[in-house]
A and B are shown apart, each in its own frame.
Chain A
Amino acid sequence: MTEAALLSVEGVTVELPTPRGNLRAVDQVDLKVAAGQTLGVVGESGCGKTMLSRAILQLLPKKAKLFGRVMFDGQDLVTLDPERLRKLRGRSLAVVFQDPMTSLNPVLTIGTQLIETLQEHLELDSAAATRRSAELLAAVGIPAPEQRLTQYPHQLSGGMRQRVAIAIALSCEPKLLIADEPTTALDVTIQAQILDLLAREQRRRHMAMILITHDLGVVAGRTDEVAVMYAGRVVERAPTSALFKKMRMPYTEALLAAIPKIDAAPHTKLPAISGRPPDPTRPIAGCSFSPRCRYAAGLCHSEKPSLTVAETADHQFACFHPILSPIGAGA
């Protein structure tokens, strides 16, 4: 990355108190995103992706403890006073949530929700805000935007609702957009449309984007850099092209292998990752992936590997037995 980072997450750790002890949802995560860049964050359910996005936005549950720094545009969001943070949210930092069924207020019309956001941050009068709302809806590919403004969320399809949610997020021209699994709740046919829409708007507005997903296929063509998360930690980080050319972490390999291939013979068994992620309230001594890793041996079970640099400086991974050659050879 040549540009100065717009957002830099430094050593962020999130702990949630639970009846069974502290749950470390995010563990020492370092990330950087520059303006106009897209970072993909990939990992399976419960690996801390959403908690990471909430930590960036400072929207963690009240009881959660956050350590580390979140530098955005030269300010530390963790220590920023609440009023300035509130002004930053929505204006410079925006988010698209996973489920458009619940991220829109069910009893307010689409128009009210869009117009109020515009008025809140841009101080537009209501006629200008209405006009701009219709433009925004048109920009995200919603037909007959003027009519849609008077409708309630339940009158729209899932894909339409997600477009509205994106329109609201984009309404104030944010510098950074966090898309937290924006397509998980949608049909496959709609997924591609929404992702293309996000990519198009991101290029057009030269904003930074963090695309959080559990699908390596989603990040493949649409991101500049990918961070793979497992059990709250970043286990591999690399420019997208480098990662798909030569992944080093067995978990990344396993994730990629679990994607169905279009040219595979019918009835081919899909290689799933056996077992489940470790219980985050009871951290294990060694590498958290070791119980499920087919290359795990010796040191893997007793010591946590730290992020180390591979051949190129921007490719980092946390593994004692990285994959040296293409899939299958192993260490």
Chain B
Amino acid sequence: MATLELSIGGEIPVTSARRKRRLGPLFWAAICWMVLVFAAAILANLLPLPSPTDMDMLERRAPASWAHWLGTDGLGRDELARLIYGARISLIVGLCAPIIGITIGGTLGMLAGYFRGRFESIVVGSMDVLLAFPPLILVLAVTAYLGQSVLYLTCIIGVLGVPAFMRVARAATLTLVRREFVIAAQALGATHTRILLRELLPNVFLPLLAFFLLLVAVTIVVEGALSFLGLGVPPPISSWGSMIGEGRESLEVAPRLAFMPATVMFLTVLSFNLVGDALRTLTDPRQGAL
């Protein structure tokens, strides 16, 4: 028999729980851009900006000047102000809709994956129905009946994201409940609530978060597309999508009116994806080392 005495009480250097990992300049550039966009959107009221809805018919499609830093649009409204106020709409919808999705979808998915049985069949079945329904028709129907508003738009995009979150959460839960630590928790007398919240949720949360960031980017684009089609926020409120849509009319005369919001949207979506990727690789090695 091998005997190996361990010195108890001896101080051993314990490396810090989180090792510093290199994130790269791209990550920090993305963070900077996101901070800039968020700050501008939050502080829009305090910034010395002209109103985004004030029209100046004499200054239609004016080029950049001291009065209008980025010029004016087809109705003489300040382009920079519209971009910044538009960021509010795009970010509110882009963040709130996935939050609705992650809350409802994540809860349903975890419960379905944990309890299985009839509940799971009902949840998966109804999500399949929702997935099979053409999203554009659904948005059209809802806006036709309830009217266009930021709230409805957020809710409808949020509900459309539920099935995807449900599937991610359920798939993660299904593999996790077979792991021994869940049986070990049961053997220690843990309640269902405790197992779901303390054992499973921290594990399911990482893939859900990565997916959440991805969906924020997707939602910003979806909101843009809907606004472009005229199904998004009602005028005169600006959103990046509706600005691109309005800019389309003067594409030959002033292409910048369509390209500026498009560029801002592109950079924001890219930033979310870059940060999401970086966060995933940051948490991945831990997942792999389990």
Contacts and interface: CB of A to CB of B under 8 A. Distances in A.
B189 interface: yes
Contacts of A154: 286, 289-290
B10 to A, nearest CB: 6
A150 B17 contact: yes
Interface string A43-86: 00000000000000101001000000000000000000000001
A244 interface: no
A86 B286 contact: no
Given A103-B181, A106-B203, A107-B203, A89 B189 contact: yes
B184 A143 contact: no
User: Main SS of chain B's interface residues?
Assistant: loop
Contact of B10 (A94, A117, A143): A143
Interface stretch (B1-9, B155-163, B221-229, B255-263): B1-9
B179 A89 contact: no
Interface string A133-151: 0000010011110011011
Interface string B197-232: 011001100100000000000000000000000000
Interface of A: 57, 59, 62, 86-91, 93-95, 97-99, 101-108, 116-117, 120-121, 138, 141-144, 147-148, 150-155, 165, 168-169, 188-189, 192-193
30 contacts: A59-B187, A86-B189, A86-B191, A87-B189, A90-B188, A91-B189, A95-B187, A97-B183, A99-B180, A102-B179, A103-B180, A103-B183, A104-B184, A107-B203, A107-B286, A108-B198, A116-B198, A117-B188, A120-B188, A138-B8, A142-B8, A143-B6, A143-B8, A143-B9, A151-B17, A152-B17, A154-B290, A165-B184, A188-B2, A192-B3
Interface of B: 1-4, 6-12, 14-15, 17, 116, 179-181, 183-191, 194, 198-199, 202-203, 206, 286-287, 289-290
The 9 closest A-B pairs by CB, nearest first: A90-B189, A90-B188, A89-B189, A102-B180, A106-B290, A103-B180, A107-B202, A189-B2, A147-B14
Given A95-B187, A106-B287, A147-B12, 10 more contacts: A97-B183, A104-B181, A105-B185, A107-B203, A143-B6, A143-B9, A143-B12, A144-B14, A151-B14, A169-B188
